């Protein structure tokens, strides 16, 4: 389902005018791409922040720009380095009948046997790039790590056939790996108490002479 977002055209101006827009509760942006020229726009900052929190950055937005509906995806979100608030957004208009390339987060599910055996699960890559129809963009890709043992990994080639869309990374692109426990931890676990066992004698002590 498309997320409708109202936007207004704006004149491209100086940095001072963009600062004034932000102070007035608006976000400057631009939309470009399929069958249109680059168009400068403004968005309501609060409305956009709520939609972004509810639907994420991978949604297809239906921009209502002065009454004209444009199907678009987020191309870039610029944030203030100090405060984290949104400074500028780029939208790319799309053809809803054509596939597009998007980055999708990878979510790990299941309890890996390697972790149960003391290993550590690492995710060297937390996103994959896929080619998919705009109406079928997933929020995340779930991968089951239940059978991943210590010293082994899960690659794109292991999961590629599970999905209807195309994953663009090569088969050897690592998603999950489980490393063995550190030598220090192993030594702690394998430490043997060498203290000799003291056995209490039940008979007469013969080490001292009788009175």
Question: pLDDT tens digit string along 39-97?
Answer: 999 999 999 999 988 888 888 999 999 889 999 999 999 998 888 889 999 999 999 99
Domain contains 202: no
Given a cut of 90, whether residue 14 has pLDDT beyond it is no
Same domain, 107 and 38: no
In percent, the amount of the chain with pLDDT more than 90 equals 66
The verdict on residue 197 lying in a domain is no
The burial class, CB within 10 Å (0-12 / 13-18 / 19+), for 14 is exposed
- On whether the CB atoms of residues 105 and 126 are closer than 8 A, the answer is yes
The model's pTM is: 0.71
pLDDT reading at 210 higher than 80: no
pLDDT cut 70: percent of the chain above it: 83
Tell me: do 71 and 109 sit in the same domain: no
Q: In terms of residue numbers, what domain contains 66?
A: 3-93
Asked if residue 209 belongs to a domain, the reply is: no
Indicate if 108 and 153 belong to the same structural domain: yes
Residues contacting residue 171 through CB under 8 Å, at least 6 positions apart: 155, 156, 157, 160
Write the pLDDT tens digit of every residue in 110-163: 999 999 999 999 999 999 999 999 989 998 999 999 999 999 999 999 999 999
Is 179 found in the same domain as 111?
yes
- 174, part of any domain: yes
């Amino acid at each position: 389902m498309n997320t409708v977002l109202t936007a207004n055209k704006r004149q491209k101006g100086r940095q001072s005018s963009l600062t004034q827009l932000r102070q007035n509760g608006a976000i400057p942006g631009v939309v470009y791409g399929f069958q249109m020229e680059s168009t400068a726009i403004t968005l309501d900052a609060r409305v956009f922040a709520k939609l972004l929190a509810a639907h994420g950055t991978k949604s297809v937005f239906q921009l209502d720009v002065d009454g004209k509906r444009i199907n678009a995806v987020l191309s870039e979100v610029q944030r203030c380095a100090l405060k984290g608030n949104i400074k500028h957004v780029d939208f790319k208009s799309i053809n809803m009948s054509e596939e597009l390339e998007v980055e999708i987060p990878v979510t790990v599910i299941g309890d890996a046997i390697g972790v149960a055996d003391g290993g550590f699960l690492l995710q060297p890559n937390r996103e994959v790039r896929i080619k998919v129809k705009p109406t079928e963009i997933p929020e995340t890709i779930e991968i089951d790590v239940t059978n991943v043992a210590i010293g082994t990994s899960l690659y794109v080639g292991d999961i590629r056939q599970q999905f209807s869309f195309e994953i663009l990374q090569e088969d050897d692109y690592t998603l999950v790996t489980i490393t063995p426990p550190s030598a220090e931890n192993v030594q702690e676990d394998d430490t043997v108490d060498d203290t000799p066992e003291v056995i209490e004698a039940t008979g007469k002590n013969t080490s001292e002479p009788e009175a």
